[in-house]
Amino acid sequence: MNSIFNQSDRAELERRLGTLTVDSPSQWGRMTPHQAVCHLNDWLKASLGDRPQPDHATTLKTRIIRFVAFTIPMPWPHGVKTSAGLDAEQGGTRPGDFDQDVADLRDLVRRFVETDGRGLGRHYKWGDMSRGEWGRYGYRHMNHHLGQFGV
């Protein structure tokens, strides 16, 4: 399964990110390309501990969803509600300069990858995650939002 910690998988994501424009047409959802970049920035900041999020209890349902989402190679569903603190319209970072926000995303991906999945702590929604889960989550989350705009 793809992982953001795998150099070739990450290179593919970065190549696709390079084709995203502020005007890339949406295939689904309400986010604009710029909002998606800001959302990914906020998610990485939260994962790195730079943007604290309210901690949710990890229930059996959450663990099952996490297992399915990070293990089974099927597309993620469209229309899943974004956590308010990571949504540009509900407390997340609002778009600024597109090129700078994309550059920030590239830097945050680099920082995330440098952790190699160690020292990331507990995910606010998914709970304690292994290196493999962090890697698959990172890849699948970026893949999902890049795919949202056909890139």
Residue 49's CATH number: 1.20.120
- Provide the residue range defining the domain that includes 134: 7-147
2 inside domain: no
30 inside domain: yes
Number of domains in the chain: 1
1 inside domain: no
Spatial CA neighbour of 113 closest among 138, 92, 93, 150:
138
pTM: 0.90
Per-residue pLDDT of 30-51, as tens digits, reads 999 999 999 999 999 999 999 8
Lowest mean pLDDT among 35-44, 52-61, 120-129: 52-61
